[in-house]
Structure 1
């Protein structure tokens, strides 16, 4: 038997389950990007609010392209187990906030109608950095236009992706979509309504949620006494910082009651997360991929990699952050990276690196350059990225580059054994990765070239150890 609404009452007391009615109310949240992260983060926050008796936070979850997960969740009545692991031990929870599921590519009208539903108060998004495209803007605009035409209230549309100023980017995307129409009185009225009554807060979300694995599903089977094809594993730590710019200002107090930080200063938190957590995650993922270490915990558990990551964050990232408690955040990150239960795949994190690196590394590099300080740790990380484009690790095991630019990266990377310096220059010349100015910075190119030569000759581990001795 699989996990379902009928089987909830049979679960043991060691599993936290929803005690509220999931059938008598309409979802108040539409979420775009129904993946593991949302289900182990915002869905659990909304589950808390529902457990307190506020029935407005049920979720209509939307997978953007593939139906696989939606089909599995439908078969389980939107239920799934989450294993939460930290230094206090393990606990299992079945959140109940996911009430309805759709697939955007095949059920587009249902999604548009859901945005326009009188019960919908929030739209949240985790569509990844590469998801902010005109089709997304069109989908949102169609639903919002229907709301306006029906004379309904405005809503909060909250981006939760790893983009600085994500709320402003999302609002600009919708504005751009409206601008593609021929200007009319209706468009002008719609735009006025949108700006006056809808809110696009920026937010930062933080929780490590690996992709689902067979090991987690087997653990869920043992803990629940029944099959769960959607089980997840995560850490105890979570953070959600959202801009105090909400369509219903009363939501701020509700979110705070569930542990969300509602503030006028999201930027310092999102900046710290992007550069400290995400930036070091990308560096470790590339190191792990090239050296054949499968998980982040496998990397941070190696003393010289741990020292490299600590110094990357402390010396080259932290000096340019506004978050005052960055040292505590850094130390918590080091501990979180080592959580043995998470098994966060380096290849999963290395996915779409060409989209992630521009958000995570260049600002810190430029901060160091402006101060005349060392950027050696970032230069070595960039050299490992160049080595990563070879598509084979140091044990001669091939791996796939799951990246929008995979074909061109592999083509450039193929030359690094015969023409290593030319390969480095070609990859560092990509303005969509590094910006317009960094490719022209001679010292940056020289140091990446230097470390690439060490990586190719002696391997990544020896290159890291050399850097630690050099920069002691």
Structure 2
């Protein structure tokens, strides 16, 4: 078993599978090589299940790396404590303010940052945000917890700290810093802002590892390998990547010994991840679920899904990504399809397709607008939106299937209301772009994109996802014959 950390210098918000198979693993490897007080206090948002299990297992668990050729189990051992934020919000603020804590890392998914998709600023219409702005002692939102913890640090000892977002939000560090600054302004904590500018860093980062949901199969594999009962083993693919800015106000673990990469410009890596991997992943999930496929490998195995995935990746996302010089893009794309075809991992379409209203708001608008301004309707980006809508808010009398119904999405009730009250599919899609609060209004001004999306929804409803994907392929070829397919990368 791993040695215990020498102290607790990291608070992590979001004690889910991804953190436990990513940041926790990198941190454990760094401490194994160089030591240090970099133990992690893991903070779950509301659920006690992982917290109770970790307490019952001496804060240990297995990470089961799975591939078609076999699996291996490792034990990170980087946590020194766990807690539930909803049960002790004041404790979370105190932990962030602890002078021994030097870094706060965050994995709460895009939805957890409580910003408006239209403006990118704090969602002041959210009742949770309003509550946190009014209650100084017990914030429940992630931004509220960080802001209140920072304010307490500033007003007590003033030790510097780094807030490192590890979610799929473009320019995640800058976005987090801007949201925290706005929260403090709106909360009347303007006395903290000068200290914030001097003593807090918000580095951008890109994280990448496919981590499916846990299950008994992985618990059994971990328990067998470790000769100890493990009820919370984390499955993960062998591939892992972490790229970040080396902007840390109070030091950091030697994550580079575990393979982390530091750079002065994370954005190209972010765009590669959010668009090429995540954006394509979404289309695979929605088409696969609509075709009755429960997993990403089963979906990718269907030629119509793979064809649509390659088309949206190569023809529509890739021209909007400034690929880093250090990346062989052909190898990267080939590796993506190997990862998506990892049948041993069994990543579920319902998991990948969940929270699409927040995910697609990060993935679709900028690439779509780049093409539309260039006079080209991106057929597979339109198909992605249509397939998403059919999964989450299917038109009346259309059954998207069990895998689509299993997708969780905060916008489902809102979009379902639009679908139920719409006079037609076209009316529904038009209202999604004007009243759905997902995509910026500028996209809705390109009527050809809106109408094309409506046509794909209608095709899926009438003839199924295979027919819609075939039409997208035909239309893309037709556009390529009469338009320049190249979209300058500078338009990202």
TM-score normalized by the length of structure 2 = 0.85
Match of 1:255 in 2: 255
Deviates more, 1:439-448 or 1:305-314: 439-448
Does structure 2 retain, via aligned residues, the 8 Å contact 1:431–1:439?
no
How far apart are 1:152 and its partner, in Å?
Answer: 4.4
1:55 partner SS: coil
Q: Which residue of 2 aligns with 1:85?
A: 66
Q: Unaligned 5+ residue runs, structure 1?
A: 1-16
Between the aligned partners of 2:358 and 2:394, the Cα distance in structure 1 is 18
Cα displacement (A) at 1:198: 1.5
1:457 — aligned with what?
462
Give the whole-Å Cα distance in 1 for the aligned partners of 2:295 and 2:196: 44
Matches within 5 A, 1:120-199: 120-133=101-114, 134=129, 135-182=141-188, 187-188=190-191, 190-199=192-201
Counterpart of 1:111 in structure 2 is 92
Equivalent residue number for residue 221 of structure 1: 223
Matched ranges for 1:11-90 at <5 A: 17-18=1-2, 20-22=3-5, 25-86=6-67, 89-90=70-71
Structure 1 CA distance for aligned equivalents of residues 29 and 270 of structure 2: 24
Cα deviation for residue 87 of structure 1 reads 6.3
2:68–2:344 CA contact under 8 A, matched in 1: no
| Number of the residue aligned with 2:412 | 406
* Mapped contact 2:433–2:441 kept (Cα < 8 A): no
Does the CA contact (< 8 Å) of 1:280 and 1:309 recur in 2?
yes
Aligned equivalents of 1:64, 1:463: Cα separation in 2: 39
Cα contact 2:67–2:345 (8 A) shared by 1: no
Judge which range, 255-264 or 119-128, deviates more. 255-264
Cα displacement (A) at 1:100:
0.3
Q: Find out whether 1:331 has 2:337 as its counterpart.
A: no
Equivalent residue number for residue 266 of structure 2: 266
* CA distance in structure 1 between the partners assigned to 2:316 and 2:70 by the alignment: 34
Once the two structures are superposed, residues 330-359 of structure 1 have per-residue CA deviations (whole angstroms, 9 ceiling, x without a partner) of 221111111112211111122111111110
CA contact (8 A) 2:205 2:245 kept: yes
How far did residue 88 of structure 1 move?
6.0
Q: What SS does structure 1 have at the residue aligned with 2:441? A: coil
Please show how residues 308-347 of structure 1 align to structure 2 within 5 Å: 308-324=308-324, 325=327, 326-347=329-350
- The aligned residue for residue 480 of structure 2 is none
How many residues in Structure 1 have an aligned counterpart in Structure 2? 446
Other-structure match for 1:11: none
Q: Alpha-carbon deviations, 1:128-161, whole Å to 9, x = none?
A: 1111244333322332233233324201110111
CA distance in 2, matches of 1:109, 1:450: 51
- 8 Å contact kept, 2:68–2:343: no
More RCO (CA 8 Å, sep 6+): 2
Once the two structures are superposed, what CA deviation does each residue of 1:56-83 show, in whole Å capped at 9, x if it has no partner? 2210000012222111111111111111
1:439: Cα distance to partner?
1.1
Cα distance in 1 for residues equivalent to 2:226 and 2:22: 21
- Structure 2 segments unaligned to the other structure (5+ residues): 115-128, 130-140, 478-492
2:137 equivalent in structure 1: none
Could you tell me how far 1:323 is from its partner in structure 2?
A: 1.7
The alpha-carbon distance between structure 1 residues 87 and 213, as it changes in their structure 2 partners (threshold 3 A), is: closer
Bigger Cα displacement from structure 2, 73-82 vs 385-394: 385-394
From 351, 360, 363, the counterpart of 1:360: 363
Measured against aligned partners, the alpha-carbon deviations of 1:1-36 in whole angstroms (never above 9, x if no partner) come to xxxxxxxxxxxxxxxx42x234xx321110001100
1:3 counterpart residue number = none
User: Structure 1 residues 55, 438: CA separation in 2 closer, same or farther (over 3 Å shift)?
Assistant: same
State the match for 2:394 in structure 1. 390
State the Cα distance separating 1:256 from its structure 2 match: 2.3
What is the TM-score with the length of structure 1 in the denominator? 0.88
> More deviation in 106-115 or 84-93?
84-93
User: How far apart, in 1, do the equivalents of 2:161 and 2:461 lie?
Assistant: 53
Q: Counterparts of 1:423 and 1:167 in 2: how far apart (Å)?
A: 35
CA distance in 2, matches of 1:340, 1:398: 20
1 CA distance for matches of 2:67 and 2:306?
A: 19
Partner of residue 373, structure 2: 370
